[in-house]
Chain A
Amino acid sequence: MKFSCPNLLRIIGLVNTGKFPYPIREFSRSAEAKFYPSLGSVSKVNYFISFLLTPVSYALFTTGTAIYSRRFSGELKYKILMAYFFVAFIFALKALVQETSGLEIYNRLCIVTSIGLSFYFFQLMSTSSQKRIVVLLALVQIVYHVLSNFILADTTSIFDSMAYVILSTGMVVMIFLYVVQLLNNVTDEPLSMSFDFWFVAGQLIYFLGSFLIFLTFDYLTRKISPSHQLTDSHQLMLVWLWGVHNVLLFLSSLLTVGSVLWIAYHKKLPSL
């Protein structure tokens, strides 16, 4: 894909250009939203998939990890995971209802995700070399976030594509480390009864499936700015593209909750 942006900073989203994911209140004010004049006509289904599905998914994640942490394992990693998903749920709700662009919230969510999931993977790894790689990847993500959000540029009104790309890459590497660990060790219990496996599988679906969306989203949002004079249908296509990302997140959350129910069913616990 050919990037039209003249410099690296524009490509990686460090300039103030597009505004996406876009808060629904701004969508509803079609007259005020000069860049997106007709997005008020987004259908209910599209609205649900592209906007509401994010908090719904995080709510499911929170529920799944809370049940697992409470009923099956009180390990710290599950408690941290539950806390992270609850924070993510609050962030997603806040981005949905606030007046201004919710992009800075999405950017903050990225760093929270880095910390939350990196801690989980750190606990999941069994060897010190794997743990070192996880720490290194987490540091890269955190350093980039600090630089891009607080030192080099103001990213409150852009979608920080590069931050999400670094996050996705880091998570996919951590997932591969876990897969290698799985293949090298045979456990007493079938893999289908492992919460960690299904949770990580969900994360792989989400981060690998959304990788290209993250990579190109800033570039695409800049393309629908007024200078390019694109039509409403183009903007709607972009909304749908974000919807695809949300569907992947939702699938991941379903896998997590589904795994907890599956484990509960097979272990025949009296109630959830």
Chain B
Amino acid sequence: MDSLSQEIAIIMIASAFFLLVAVGLIILVLIYQRKQFQFALEKQQLNSQFQRELLATRLEAQEETLNQLSTELHDNVGQLLSSSKLLIGVSMRGLAAPTQELLLAEQTVSKAITELRSMSKSLNKDWLEKFNLIENLKAEVNRINVSKEFEMTFQHPSQVELSSDRQLVLFRIVQEAFQNALKHSKATRICIVMEQDANNLNVIIKDDGTGFTVADSSKLGVGIMNIKNRTQLLGGTVRWDSGDSGTQVGIQIPITK
């Protein structure tokens, strides 16, 4: 082989080597980036799991506080009211004709005791766990309808395919949503619709109030944040549609059997 042929052969071999280096580098970058990508994904998943656990712990603490509050209401304020009612009764028996004011006071205290018991029940975790979500929501709806200031309806399936602890979290979500409507929207009618399919449980809470804008949402900040956090804890989604004709809160929770 002459010198030119040798030179060209050397160039070809060296170029092939350079080409291999280029291809090798591309493959290395791909492998490295894929590992980095997987690592970042795992980190994200761990972080997400940590956030969920943190949220669960916080909600558990919140439930515990509500539980204590419920016990305090029942055992302390409830007892005080019962004592007051008893004393009013004793006073009434001592009088030949009880005054109208005393009768009104007796009725008011009785009503306060009933309200307090009902509220205490809705805050008490142990009591809630004895009943299912539908029963508890029915009780809440009745409690609100008794006031006659609002008209509340509730459509629901015969039962929901959720574990009791998940039902409790969902109950708090729905409770928060209609409490927002009662407090802020000037609504007179509130409608709760619950539907269940093979994969999801969908809950819609609709009111005929004034609605709210993004600017107003700061007023509802804590309530909305609680709803979002709790829905996230259940792995579900929540969306708000608000306008002049009212607000609709749509919650979708996956059913995990």
A positions within 8 Å CB-CB of B: 1, 179, 182-183, 186-187, 190-192, 197, 201, 204-205, 208-213, 216, 220, 223-224, 230, 234, 237-238, 241, 244, 248
Would you call A192 and B30 a contact (CB within 8 A)?
A: yes
Would you call B7 and A220 a contact (CB within 8 A)?
A: yes
Bound CA–CA A186/B29 (angstroms): 12
Q: Which of B5, B29, B39 has the most CB of A within 10 A?
A: B29
Would you call B18 and A201 a contact (CB within 8 A)?
A: no
Q: Which of B2-43 contact A (CB under 8 A)?
A: 2, 4-5, 7-8, 10-12, 14-15, 18-19, 21-23, 25-26, 29-30, 32-34, 36-37, 39-40
Residues 36-69 of B, flagged 1 when their CB comes within 8 A of A and 0 if not, give 1101100000000000000000000000000000
Would you call A190 and B22 a contact (CB within 8 A)?
A: no
Partner of B26, one of A201, A213, A244: A201
CB proximity of A150 to chain B, nearest CB, Å:
30
Partner of A182, one of B10, B15, B22, B33: B33
Minimum CB distance partner of A192 in chain B: B30
Residues of chain A lying within 8 A (CB to CB) of residue B36: 183, 186
Bound CA–CA A201/B14 (angstroms): 19
Given contacts A1-B7, A212-B18, A237-B5, whether A204 and B25 have CB atoms under 8 Å apart is yes
Given contacts A183-B32, A183-B33, A244-B12, whether A205 and B4 have CB atoms under 8 Å apart is no
Q: Which of B4, B7, B30, B37 has the most CB of A within 10 A?
A: B4
Minimum CB distance partner of B30 in chain A: A191
Bound CA–CA A190/B36 (angstroms): 10
* Known contacts A179-B29, A213-B11, A220-B7, then 18 further A-B pairs from the complex at CB < 8 Å, ordered by chain A residue: A1-B10, A182-B29, A183-B36, A186-B37, A187-B37, A190-B34, A191-B37, A201-B26, A204-B22, A205-B23, A205-B26, A211-B18, A212-B14, A212-B15, A213-B15, A224-B4, A230-B4, A241-B8
Residues of chain B lying within 8 A (CB to CB) of residue A237: 4-5, 8
Bound CA–CA A213/B15 (angstroms): 7
Count of A-B contacts with CB under 8 A? 73
Given contacts A186-B40, A237-B4, whether A205 and B32 have CB atoms under 8 Å apart is no
Would you call B8 and A205 a contact (CB within 8 A)?
A: no
Would you call A223 and B19 a contact (CB within 8 A)?
A: no
Show 28 residue pairs from A and B whose CB-CB distance is below 8 angstroms, ordered by the A residue. Answer: A183-B32, A186-B37, A187-B37, A190-B34, A191-B29, A191-B33, A201-B22, A204-B22, A204-B25, A204-B26, A205-B22, A208-B18, A208-B19, A210-B15, A211-B18, A212-B11, A212-B14, A213-B11, A213-B15, A220-B4, A220-B7, A220-B8, A234-B4, A237-B4, A237-B8, A241-B8, A241-B12, A244-B12
Bound CA–CA A187/B29 (angstroms): 13
Bound CA–CA A211/B16 (angstroms): 11
Q: Which of B34, B37, B39 has the most CB of A within 10 A?
A: B37
Residues of chain B lying within 8 A (CB to CB) of residue A187: 37
Would you call B7 and A183 a contact (CB within 8 A)?
A: no
Bound CA–CA A237/B8 (angstroms): 8
Would you call B22 and A191 a contact (CB within 8 A)?
A: no
Residues of chain A lying within 8 A (CB to CB) of residue B11: 212-213, 216, 241
Bound CA–CA A206/B245 (angstroms): 64
Residues of chain A lying within 8 A (CB to CB) of residue B5: 234, 237
Minimum CB distance partner of A223 in chain B: B4
Minimum CB distance partner of B9 in chain A: A237
Residues of chain A lying within 8 A (CB to CB) of residue B32: 183
Bound CA–CA A209/B4 (angstroms): 20
Bound CA–CA A204/B25 (angstroms): 9
Bound CA–CA A224/B2 (angstroms): 13
Bound CA–CA A216/B22 (angstroms): 20
Residues of chain B lying within 8 A (CB to CB) of residue A197: 29
Bound CA–CA A147/B65 (angstroms): 81
Residues of chain A lying within 8 A (CB to CB) of residue B22: 201, 204-205, 208-209
Residues of chain A lying within 8 A (CB to CB) of residue B21: 208
